[in-house]
């Protein structure tokens, strides 16, 4: 049985050989350039004409200076940057309300610390994802919860984030908020919601099988309606618990 070789394969081989020979030439050309550059330097700065090198372009002093000065410039940039990073972690304004968000597998517990009068009477509630079969018209799938976090608009808030089991995250992208919940630590963030509305978020840390079923819903209401919403909706739920 004869084997037929097409002209296309011969053309491809010829083109491949030309490319190979061209790229193999590059290392040789680079070596030649370096040899030429080195030779020109020997001719421009011979020892007989320059027995003592000029201190402007040669010498230990200039080498030390041009090494130290570039390292000092990042230090001047880093000092205000560190101050800004540390200040971002601190609550600059005295918060009006403090809310503690505790992550669980796979739900969240919220505690309004300002309304805790004793261990028996605390404003605490759990927030679970509403199953797809129980959603009402207009509610978003995998984003709606049974108990929303009600906050007053145009008010400085402090959110304390911590987990009860594995690492979680409290993230609300529409509010520019993301804080990791690390076991054994209390992380805090400060927010101020400027407009009334409903803001959705989700856990952004892989926390287990039902990681996608732990949404966050923050509802910002006017200040005059905040007190009634808290007393009428949240307190009866904690009483039933």
What does the pLDDT average to over 206-213?
Answer: 81
Could you give the 3-state DSSP secondary structure of residue 4? coil
pLDDT at site 218: 92
Task: Look at residue 235 and tell me whether its pLDDT is greater than 60.
Answer: no
Short-list 153, 62, 162, CA closest to 110: 162
Q: Which residues of 3-31 are buried (b: 16+ CB within 10 A; e: fewer)?
A: eeeeeeeeeeeeeeeeeeeeeeeeeeeee
Q: How far is CA 19 from CA 26, 164, 201, 238, in A?
A: 11, 62, 54, 76
CB-neighbour burial class of residue 64 (10 A; exposed 0-12, middle 13-18, buried 19+) = exposed
Q: Has residue 81 got a pLDDT over 50?
A: yes
Please write the tens of the pLDDT for every residue from 126-174. 899 888 888 888 888 888 898 889 899 988 888 999 998 888 999 998 8
pLDDT band per the 50, 70, 90 thresholds, residue 112: confident
pLDDT, one tens digit per residue, over 25-65 is 555 566 777 788 778 777 777 777 767 766 666 667 777 88
Please report, in angstroms and rounded to a whole number, the separation of the first and last CA atoms in the chain.
86
CB 110 within 8 A of CB 125: yes
* Total number of residues shown for the chain: 241
Q: What's the whole-model pTM score?
A: 0.59
- Output DSSP code: residue 151: E
């Amino acid at each position: 049985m004869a084997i037929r070789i097409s002209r296309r394969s011969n053309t491809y081989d010829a083109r491949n050989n030309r490319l190979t020979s061209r790229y193999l030439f590059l290392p040789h050309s680079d070596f030649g350039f370096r040899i030429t550059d080195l030779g020109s330097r020997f001719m421009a700065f011979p020892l007989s004409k320059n027995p003592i090198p000029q201190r402007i372009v040669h010498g230990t002093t200039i080498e030390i200076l041009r090494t130290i000065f570039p390292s000092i410039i990042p230090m001047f940039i880093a000092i205000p940057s560190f101050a800004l990073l540390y200040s971002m972690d601190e609550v600059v304004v005295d918060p009006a309300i403090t809310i503690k968000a505790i992550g669980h597998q796979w739900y969240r517990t919220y505690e309004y610390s300002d309304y805790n009068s004793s261990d028996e009477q605390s404003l605490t509630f759990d927030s679970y994802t509403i199953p797809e079969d129980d959603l009402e018209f207009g509610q978003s799938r995998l984003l709606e919860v049974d108990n929303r976090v009600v906050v007053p608009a145009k008010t400085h808030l402090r959110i304390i984030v911590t987990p009860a089991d594995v690492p979680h995250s409290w993230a609300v992208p529409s509010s520019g908020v993301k804080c990791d919940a690390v076991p054994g630590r209390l992380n805090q963030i400060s927010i101020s919601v400027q407009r009334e509305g409903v803001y959705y978020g989700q856990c952004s840390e892989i926390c287990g099988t039902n990681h996608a079923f732990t949404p966050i819903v923050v509802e910002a209401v006017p200040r005059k309606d905040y007190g009634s919403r808290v007393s009428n909706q949240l307190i009866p739920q904690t009483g039933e618990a």
